[in-house]
Amino acid sequence: MTTSTKQMGRAGARSRTLGSLGQLFARYGIVIALGLIVLALSVLSDNFLTSGNLTNVLRQVSINGILAVGMTFVILTGGIDLSIGSVLALTGMVGASLVVGSKPHSPILAILAALAVGVVAGACSGIFIAWVRLPAFVVTLGMLSAVRGLTLIYSQGMPISNLSSGFKFLGQGTFLGIPVSVVLFGATALAAWVVLAYTVYGRRVYAVGGNMRSAHTCGINVRGIIFSVYALMGLLSALAGVTLTARTTAALPQAGVAYELDAIAAVVIGGTSLTGGIGGIPLTVVGVLIIGLLNNGLDLLGISSYYQQVIKGLMIVAAVLIDKARHADAA
């Protein structure tokens, strides 16, 4: 971050033209958009800028936020994962099944089991994509269906409720006054940001997405990196799965349907390139917040959820347009 400001400072000293203003807008357009949305909502609705409502927004976005963080890794390598909604449902179900009945297991064990299932599901996709070299879109589309099926088989199509209170803490408890789910989202995003921006592994993720052949030439284990991002996505899908289950106090076999679309939307709104190699966590978080605020704000304003979908769609296209302008600038 410090380097980019330094770079801008130098470039600015060289030519302070109208063009640089446009460049600034192109680079931070999404952040500006977020600011404008906050501003507009605070003017339009008295209920918006209350701590209760803002906490509510954060709690609502935390699930999509955790998924979007994982999706950022996947998309940075030039891949995609459509199966996350199904993995979320299966892992939530596995976790829930261990904390019901007269002798529930410890919530820790349940969570670890769910996370393990998530990693295995992600690893399955990863093996087919990295080593068998099938397109990620197709593999994860298959997983979307297969894992949903496994969820239905495992649950026999029935929801699981009456979870132990220890488990429900994950979705309903607070930590220092902040909902646990929000803390989990924050911690996930922070860790992911550090990994992508400051570690060797992060650099390699960018390298694989930026140019796979160059990455191979540079001695990077390209298949290993690709495999790892899907396994990580599985892990984070499971984290989202148990959190959602704990929050809704029940595991539903139909949980998480179409969640992959919101996660992808957040990543794309944040400016991560679908071809890989460009993007990052901070702007993904902005993307997550924009989607969450739009949903919340439009609810507050009493606008039908039908319109909300239209607005979200336009937002995605607008984000890609901004991104395109930015790259035209860079070329």
Partner 1 sequence: MSGSDLLLKAEGIQKSYGGVLALHDGCIELCAGTVHALCGGNGAGKSTFLNILMGLEAPDSGRIWLNGSETRFASPASALAAGIAIITQELSPVPDMTVAENIFLGRESRRAGWFVNQTVMRRKAAELLERLNFAVDPRVKMRRLSLGQIQLVEIAKAIDQRSSVLIMDEPTSAIGDKETAVLFDAIRQLKSAGVGIIYVSHRLSELFSIADEYTVFRDGGFVRTGLMKDIDRDELIRLIVGGSLIDQQCAATEPEKATLLEVQGYSRAGEFEDINLSLKSGEIVGLYGLMGAGRSEFASSLYGISRRNRGRLVMDGAEVEINSPGDALKFRIAMITEDRKASGLFLSQSVRKNISLTSLSSLSRRSFINERKEKAVAQRMIERFHIKVRTRDQPVRQLSGGNQQKVLFARSLTTSPRILICDEPTRGIDEGAKREIHAFLAEFAAQGNAVLMISSEVQEILASCNRVVVFRHGRQVAESPVTRITPELLLHWAS
What residues line the site for partner 1 (CB under 8 A)? 3-4, 6-7, 10-11, 14-15, 17, 19, 198-201, 203-204, 206-207, 210-211, 213-221, 277-278, 330-331
**Least distance from C-beta 215 to partner 1, angstroms?**
8
Q: Give Cβ neighbours of residue 292 (< 8 Å, ≥ 6 apart).
A: 57, 58, 60, 61, 64
**Least distance from C-beta 270 to partner 1, angstroms?**
16
**Least distance from C-beta 62 to partner 1, angstroms?**
27
> 10 or 103: whose CB is closer to partner 1?
10
> 192 or 293: whose CB is closer to partner 1?
192
Whole-angstrom distance, CA of residue 25 vs CA of residue 120: 42
Whole-angstrom distance, CA of residue 123 vs CA of residue 82: 14
Burial class (CB in 10 A: 0-12, 13-18, 19+), 158: exposed
> 135 or 149: whose CB is closer to partner 1?
135
**Least distance from C-beta 223 to partner 1, angstroms?**
10
> 4 or 102: whose CB is closer to partner 1?
4
Whole-angstrom distance, CA of residue 62 vs CA of residue 112: 20
Q: Give me 278's structure tokens.
A: 């460009």
**Least distance from C-beta 21 to partner 1, angstroms?**
12
> 56 or 221: whose CB is closer to partner 1?
221
Phi, psi of 106 (to 5 degrees): -65, 145
> 2 or 156: whose CB is closer to partner 1?
2
Q: Return the closest-CA partner of residue 110 out of 259, 239, 247.
A: 239
User: Is 237:91 a contact under the CB 8 Å cutoff?
Assistant: yes
**Least distance from C-beta 16 to partner 1, angstroms?**
9
